[in-house]
């Protein structure tokens, strides 16, 4: 049985491939690309049908972060000309969230820059969640505030949060190359705190920071092991004014291979195409929908996405449908696992472990940047061209939250 038959058979059974098989997906050639997408598409349809979950980012606090994540436009010392503002008021955030939900989003992702929240920040977010849920009790809320201290995850859960986003971003071995102000272990600890409090864990990666294929496979297997219910796959947006501004290491073909590898390793997990979708997949975005079952609607934290209506048109034109508020995202067996992990032992239709509320993802400290002083992997496929510099595609967000202009939804 060849590689793709093996991966498809395993994925349809919900089994995880070997590390070597995952690496082999990244080494496939352009001639094999459509076969790779088709194989990953079979696995995607087995567990998620043709549904696309829409998520909407609200940047509660933008820029001026004391952390030094190389990929991030909000980092310490960033010269990127992004919007900078302090905490939105609850009604401002609720207005932004409402626009996203009206556009078709079932999940709102509340994100704030910073190392981690103070207890006062948790109060602010609690008030914001109350304002959002008052307007629409069915909306899922994912929170992303950085590293959590003891009891903060429990407070967010009690206040109505459904999920917490904290990305691992890259492999443990290379984590120190992208950030020095916190560690990979810190990030793992926060994902575990969130999961332990009964929040759905949303944790993903950033590709295109100069990492090797081995790094990508390492972080994707680590996310599977960590029990992430949702895996956002960010493609580095090389913002001018950040250390990785010149890192253009991705092609649409490479992005599709990465998405397929993530899908095979996480067959029954929500896989979300996150930041960098428009910049790197470009006209190949619809093929990405055959592999991933979730995207962000509209804009990202500090950069603009394509028009929300263009997202909806793309989904329809590609033969997919927007996942409704009443539909479960995760397959039932995954929702049950999530519920058991949170200690509530419920089924997919119960209040504290519903598939609709026990999945997730976000962008939090997420759909942003990249790293990139490493050399391209020596074993990269010969067909893998280095992407051209396309900084014309990076558009700093100037509308929506923190501005007087209407949000893109
Ligand atoms: S990723 Fe998050 S913690 Fe890191 S610099 Fe950006 S906002 Fe700060």
- Is residue 72 among the annotated active site residues? yes
Say yes or no: CB of residue 146 within 6 Å of ligand 1: yes
pLDDT tens string 207-243: 999 999 999 999 999 999 999 999 999 999 999 999 9
Active site residue 202: yes
**DSSP 8-state secondary structure symbol assigned to residue 248:** -
pLDDT in tens, 172-182: 999 999 999 99
User: Half-sphere exposure of residue 312, counting CA atoms within 13 Å on the CB side?
Assistant: 12
Ligand 1 centroid, distance to 65 Cα (angstroms): 6
CB-CB neighbours of 326 under 10 Å: 8
CB 228 within 8 A of CB 193: no
pLDDT tens track for 337-390: 666 655 443 333 332 333 333 333 333 344 443 333 333 344 444 445 556 788
Q: Tell me, yes or no, if 255 is annotated catalytic.
A: no
Residue 362, pLDDT score: 32
Which position has the higher pLDDT, 338 or 87? 87
73 lines ligand 1 (CB under 6 A): no
Is the beta carbon of 65 within 6 A of some atom in ligand 1? Answer: yes
Q: Is residue 212 in contact with ligand 1, taking CB distance under 6 Å?
A: no
Cα of 14 vs centre of ligand 1, distance in Å, is 34
The Cα-based distances of 197 to 39, 93, 148, 205, 345 in angstroms read 36, 25, 11, 22, 13
Question: d(Cα 102, Cα 82) in Å, to the nearest integer?
Answer: 26
% the chain with pLDDT above 70: 87
Q: Tens digits of per-residue pLDDT, 109-130?
A: 999 999 999 999 999 999 999 9
Task: Determine the distance separating the centroid of ligand 1 and the alpha carbon of 364, expressed in angstroms.
Answer: 9
Ligand 1 pocket residue status of 131, Cβ below 6 Å: no
pLDDT confidence bin for 95, thresholds 50/70/90: very high
In the block, residue with structure tokens 């969230």: 97
Residue of 68, 69, 244 best suited for mutating to test ligand 1, as the one with most atoms within 8 Å of CB: 69
Reported as a single tens digit per residue, the pLDDT across 238-290 is 999 999 999 999 999 999 999 999 999 999 999 999 999 999 999 999 999 99
Measure 394 CA to ligand 1 centroid, in angstroms: 19
Give the C-alpha distances (Å, rounded to integers) separating 269 from 44, 135, 199, 248, 333: 9, 29, 15, 28, 11
What is the pLDDT at residue 326? 85
Residue 61 has pLDDT above 80, yes or no: yes
75 is catalytic: no
Å from CA of 371 to ligand 1 middle? 13
> How many Å apart are CA 396 and CA 55, to the nearest integer?
20
The sign of the dihedral angle between the CA atoms of 41, 47, 51, 52 is: negative
CB atoms within 10 A of CB 1: 8
Half-sphere exposure at residue 401, Cβ-oriented, CA atoms within 13 angstroms: 37
Of the residues 51, 98, 109, 187, which is catalytic?
A: 109
Note the pLDDT of residue 265: 98
Ligand 1 nearest atom to the CA of residue 179, by list position: 4
**144 noted as active-site residue:** no
pLDDT at 371: 32
């Amino acid at each position: 049985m060849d590689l793709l038959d093996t991966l498809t058979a395993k994925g349809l059974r919900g089994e995880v491939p070997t590390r070597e098989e995952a690496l082999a997906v990244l080494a496939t050639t352009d001639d094999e690309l459509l076969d790779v997408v088709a194989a990953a598409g079979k696995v995607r349809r087995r567990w998620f049908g043709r549904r696309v979950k829409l998520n909407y980012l609200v940047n509660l606090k933008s820029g001026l972060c004391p952390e030094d994540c190389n990929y991030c436009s909000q980092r310490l010392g960033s010269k990127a000309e992004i919007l900078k503002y302090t905490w939105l008021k609850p009604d401002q955030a609720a207005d932004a969230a409402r626009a996203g939900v009206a556009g078709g989003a079932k999940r709102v992702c509340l994100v704030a820059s910073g190392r981690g929240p103070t207890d006062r920040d948790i109060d602010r977010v609690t008030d914001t969640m109350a304002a959002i849920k008052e307007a629409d009790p069915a909306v899922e809320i994912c929170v992303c505030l950085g590293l959590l201290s003891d009891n903060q995850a429990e407070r967010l859960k009690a206040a109505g949060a459904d999920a917490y986003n904290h990305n691992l971003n890259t492999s443990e071995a290379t984590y120190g190359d992208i950030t020095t102000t916190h560690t990979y272990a810190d990030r793992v600890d926060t994902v575990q705190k969130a999961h332990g409090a009964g929040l759905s864990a949303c944790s993903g990666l950033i590709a295109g920071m100069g990492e090797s294929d081995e790094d990508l496979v390492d972080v994707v297997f680590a996310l599977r092991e960590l029990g992430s219910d949702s895996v956002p796959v960010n493609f580095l947006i090389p913002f001018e004014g950040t250390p990785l501004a010149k890192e253009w290491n991705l092609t649409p073909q490479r992005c599709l291979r990465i998405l397929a590898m993530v899908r095979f390793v996480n067959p029954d997990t929500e896989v979300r195409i996150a930041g960098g979708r428009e910049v790197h997949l470009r006209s190949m975005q619809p093929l990405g929908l055959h592999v991933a079952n979730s995207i962000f609607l509209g804009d990202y934290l500090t950069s603009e996405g394509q028009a929300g209506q263009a997202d909806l048109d793309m989904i329809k034109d590609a033969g997919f449908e927007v996942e409704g508020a009443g539909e479960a995202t995760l397959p039932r067996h995954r929702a049950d696992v999530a519920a058991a992990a949170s200690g509530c032992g419920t089924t997919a239709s119960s209040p504290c472990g519903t598939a609709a509320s026990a999945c997730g993802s976000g962008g939090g400290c997420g759909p942003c940047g990249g790293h990139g002083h490493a050399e391209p992997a020596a074993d990269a496929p010969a067909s893998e061209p280095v992407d051209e510099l396309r900084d014309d595609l990076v558009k700093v967000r100037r509308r929506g939250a923190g501005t007087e202009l209407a949000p893109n939804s």
